[in-house]
Amino acid sequence: MQRLRCPPFKHFFSQMGRRPELLCGAIALSCAFIVALRVTCGRAKDVEMPARPPVHFFSPRSPVIDLFRGQLDYAEHIRQDSEITLFFLYAPWCGQSIATRQEIEHVASRLADQVLFVAVNCWWNQGKCRKQKSFFYFPVIYLYHKSFGPIEYKGPMTAAYIEKFVRRVMTPLLYISSRSRLRDFLANYEPAVLGYFEFNASPQPPGYLTFFSSALHSLKKDYVDTVRYGVITDKQVAKEISLTDSGSVYLHRKLNASLVYPHKILNYTAQNICNWAFENRETLLHWLRPHGGKSLLLNNELKKGPALILFIPFNPLSEDYPLLDEITEVALQYNSCNKSQAVEPGLQQLGQTDSLTTEPLPLDSPLHTSETLKKHQCCNTVVLPQWHTISRTHNICDLCVNQTFGIQPSKVTVPQCNFFEIEAALDSFYLKEHFFMQIMSNSIECSNFLSFYNPFSQYTACCRTMSRGLIDSTLYGQTDSKAQNLAFSSHGKNHKDGSQLSVPHIEESGSLIHDDTITGLSCKTNKTLNLYLLDSNLFWKYAERLGASRTTPVKEFATIVDLKEELHYILDQNRAFEKPTLETFIQNFSTIYSPLKRELVSSSHIHETKHHMITEVTTRTFHQVVLSSTKDVLLQYYAPWCGFCTALNHVFIRLARLLPSANFTVARINVAQNDLPWEFMVDRLPTILFFPYNRKDFSMKYPEHLDINLPNLLRFILQYSSQPFAVVPPEPCPKECSQTQPPLPNRVSHLEGKIQRLQTEISSLRKAQVQLATQISDARKDEHKLKIQKQTLEENSKALQLHKDILQALYEEKAKEVGEMAEKLQKLMDTSKSLLTENALLKILISSMEEKLVENKHEKKSSAFVQPFPAGTGGPVVDPEQKLHNENNADILGTDTAVTSEYIKGNRTA
């Protein structure tokens, strides 16, 4: 047997036992290492403080139940006992939640006896509200009406709007029992749905709960432009709107025919009634309430077409809206396309006789007679433009509407036409101008044709050609002032002599605008307006951005925005915000050649630029600083969000230092906050325009392919600059000056020396240029060589990569073969181990067999000395015990022999 060796550490400690000083030093070093490791790990370990427990968000004396631990299950439990419940779900750190807390308390103080107010902290991580709800914003206001809800409130977070929302849910239905109440209900600007139910039979007639649920579905679907629901309880009042059966539902529409719910086609369910009302409703005015965050609300609405945006101070809790009623009447007239039907005839008749008539006027009414049409017949005299700008002739035409025969110009005595009809006819003459191109002829040519603008109208034109110079003096004996009204201006462009072109622009003729109504105007023009309302108490910042004044005493503002045409008009804030003012504003916009002036929004902050090298230009100062200036002006267009513009600031500062301020102005304009006329706007930033001082209309744009640096800017300015270099006559020099100034020949020689030095510098610069060109050519050659070397290296790299792939494949194949060989060797080792074990067992069996054979031999020898058999027995006498012993030995020997043969057979098989 081999002797076991001690491990190295055992030998080490045996040595330490012999030398105690080494053992003490090792122990001290180990302790120091453990202490340093513990201190180091302790410093690197992150320490997490548990979150502070939540505290009360509302005052304990507040009427709002504050579940500051987020007990949402308890909130659901207590709301089962209340008819109306408001949930205020907040986060304690949210600024909007903190700001809305006072508004909620104000509403709760007014409605606590009717509504249960519950506030739940939905931010604490151990509360059930945080575990069950996941909100993307705070606060969230849910309102429950018994078992219906939640109805989420998404309006302004102010007490007045929240209270109006709560009261609307508290009473989703208005009960109408008289004709006066019916008139007031239908006169509202919101869409109206009426249901008739007979309450005499039972307290809850069939269909009433379904109608009630439909009103709640309407509030849940759209709270801003919702549909007002009313219930008629009187049978006689229901007959006024043709409702006779209990459970009938009626949708009132002001512009089109009103509808009755088709219960035979659609199932009478709350959701179906709500969807039917929203699909068929008429919305004259759209309320916009931006939530203050990033939103596409205004952009999506303005993309629908031209928009009239009205900012009015609105009190949601007020019952009377005089200004809103006037705006609603304007919207109703603007969208009433059927001229033969008066505005809300049924409502007007109901207001006078306390009865309601919603049927349209019959065709045989006075509004449809020919006598009424004759009242609208009219003629007017217009001046058509010349065909070419070099022509000196004009067509003078008498234009008549709804006439089927020609009228001589001298016999025209009927009133002047409706403004829009004349405008449409004028547009027709532009298309048919080639019919009236007689050259200096006094004959009158009359033509009749149907209007392409209105299929029920006809135009008659009697025209003659006159010289342009004779129009003012000979046109039907008119006075000078009236003749000037016929000489319309063209886009405000003047000649060099100050005269204007005589081209008709109908909006500048005061004698043509006599239409004092806008009834059906939305169907008469392609510039149909969408009307939007905003509360100026909440969204006045939008009005200021659109051009409203900050110092106005009354927050009322109207503007028209047309994104497609890039038009922006505002109503003069000095004028009263009344119905006639709005009608005139809409009329002026609806004309083909609108007299309104495009509003240019200017930056409200005016920079003081007296001590700055770069002049800051705004919309208001653009004409003075750029166009009216006696200097050359270099104008940069920039925006605060443009990073490239900011990177160029140092270039323009250096340029402003180099250029003389007496002749040049370096300016810039922030186009993100300042609008300019279309001819001065740009489509990319940064953009640089140069305005020469004596020809501002020939402004030049800095080339886009050039880098914006100081040398390029100087070349650009010097190329297009038109500053005069006047020769100033020399003044007589006094005696002191003559003594100090050198004589003229010396000055000439001095200048010649300077010229020579400059020529020398130029020659040296040329030599340097040649050298630089040589270096550039060498660099190009080197670059070509490097490209060739790069290609060679890339090819070698590809070959090496291919060789690498081949070697990798061979390596994987050999590794696989080695693995298979290892598995075979492992099997052989296992087989050899089993054979060794079997051989040892065979040896033991053989040895045991040998011992048994030896014992058998001894027994045979002993049996040879047994006595002979007795007579008469025929054999030896065997003891029974000896016989049993012999049988056992024989069995054992047989068994061993069988086992040995099996092991031998197994070894041979293996």
Per DSSP, the residues of 812-852 read: HHHHHHHHHHHHHHHHHHHHHHHHHHHHHHHHHHHHHHHHH
The pLDDT of residue 391: 43
Residues ≥6 apart with Cβ < 8 Å to 15: 22
25-38 pLDDT, tens digit each: 767 777 777 776 66
Diameter of the chain by CA atoms?
195
Amino acid letter, 721: S
CA distances in angstroms from 3 to 6, 15, 515, 759, listed in the order given: 10, 21, 128, 105
Domains with residue ranges and CATH for the chain: 65-163 (3.40.30.10), 172-283 (3.40.30.10), 285-337+520-599 (3.40.30.10), 379-467 (no CATH), 615-720 (3.40.30.10)
439-466 pLDDT, tens digit each: 444 556 666 655 554 444 566 767 666 5
The pLDDT of residue 352: 41
| β pairing state of 687-691 and 632-638 | antiparallel
Length of the chain: 910
User: Does residue 870 register a pLDDT over 70?
Assistant: no
CA distances in angstroms from 614 to 324, 633, 646, 671, 716, listed in the order given: 48, 11, 14, 16, 18
The pLDDT of residue 66: 94
Provide mean pLDDT across the span 738-744: 51
Cβ of 232: how many Cβ atoms within 10 Å? Answer: 26
Provide mean pLDDT across the span 364-389: 46
Kindly report which listed range (32-41, 740-749, 827-836) carries the lowest average pLDDT score: 740-749
Query: Which pair of tokens denotes residue 298?
Result: 């205004």
Name which residue leads in pLDDT, 607 or 162: 162
User: Does residue 826 register a pLDDT over 60?
Assistant: yes
User: Does residue 58 register a pLDDT over 90?
Assistant: yes
Task: Please compute Rg for the chain using Cα positions.
Answer: 53
Query: Which pair of tokens denotes residue 218?
Result: 């309407």
The pTM of this model reads 0.57
The pLDDT of residue 620: 86
Degrees to nearest 5, angle at CA 294 with 288 and 299: 50
Provide mean pLDDT across the span 494-508: 35
| β pairing state of 530-535 and 307-312 | parallel
The H-or-E segment that residue 121 falls in is strand 116-121
Ramachandran assignment for 440, one of left (phi > 0), alpha (psi -120 to 50 degrees), beta (any other): left
Query: Which pair of tokens denotes residue 883?
Result: 């016989």
885-905 pLDDT, tens digit each: 555 555 545 555 554 555 455
Main-chain dihedrals φ then ψ at residue 492, nearest 5 degrees: 70, 20
User: Does residue 14 register a pLDDT over 80?
Assistant: no
Provide mean pLDDT across the span 672-678: 85
User: Does residue 121 register a pLDDT over 90?
Assistant: yes
The pLDDT of residue 68: 93
User: What band does 40 get if pLDDT is binned at 50, 70 and 90?
Assistant: low
308-335 pLDDT, tens digit each: 999 999 888 888 888 888 888 888 888 8
